[in-house]
Structure 1
Amino acid sequence: MSYRIAVGSGDGVFVDQHFATALQFLIYEVNGEEYDFIESRSNRIDCECSEYHKNKFSPLTEKINDCRAVLVGRIGPGAQNALKEQGIDSYDIQESIDVALEKLIDYYNKTDSKLKI
């Protein structure tokens, strides 16, 4: 079963973006233990929209609503809750993208195998 992971990265090497102000999300497709870069989704930070929107995180969660998880350098509890409501796991981690993806994929593989018992 494949799934997608969004990564907040400004340089394409490290997980270094704060969720609420990420300039882009890099999308990776995961199959088993392998992953491939799919696309970059740029993000326009619109303070007025964020400030007055009924759910200020809605534009961001909609941008990655096809992903199982998001990896970012920092994330606050409000954003975590907004993502959780959409069924998206969120993790704040400051690592290279490769290391962060490998850790998350390993975690999911172990967790998913326990659920099949």
Structure 2
Amino acid sequence: MTTITLDNNNFVSEVLESKTLVVVDFWAAWCGPCRVMNPIIEELAETFAGVVTVGKVNIDDYPELASQHQITAIPTLMIFEQRKEIDRIAGLISKTALFERVQAFTQSIYA
């Protein structure tokens, strides 16, 4: 698996202190749309390996992380850069649209 499982112990080090762009998927096992997004998230992690870190937070296991980040619907993807949220996507998004959005951020960082 190329995604990182995020929890209360590693969220700060893996996301907020990361030197790379980080995409965080807030999801739950019972969520149908989350299951649709899962292979897209895995492919995102593989495609952007080394440039973008991709992590997953199960909101049932870590509700306090979901609360801290004001997650009101799942799936929600948050994109972080240098300790700050720079984008948020709630609900389903196509693979093409997600990859283009992430690509736009990586170009601005590494151009």
Identify the TM-score tier after normalising by the shorter chain.
Answer: 0.3 to 0.5
- Using the size of structure 1 for normalisation, the TM-score is 0.36
- Using the size of structure 2 for normalisation, the TM-score is 0.37
Q: Which has the higher contact order (CA 8 A, sep 6+)?
A: 2
Query: Which protein has the larger Cα radius of gyration, Structure 1 or Structure 2?
Result: 1
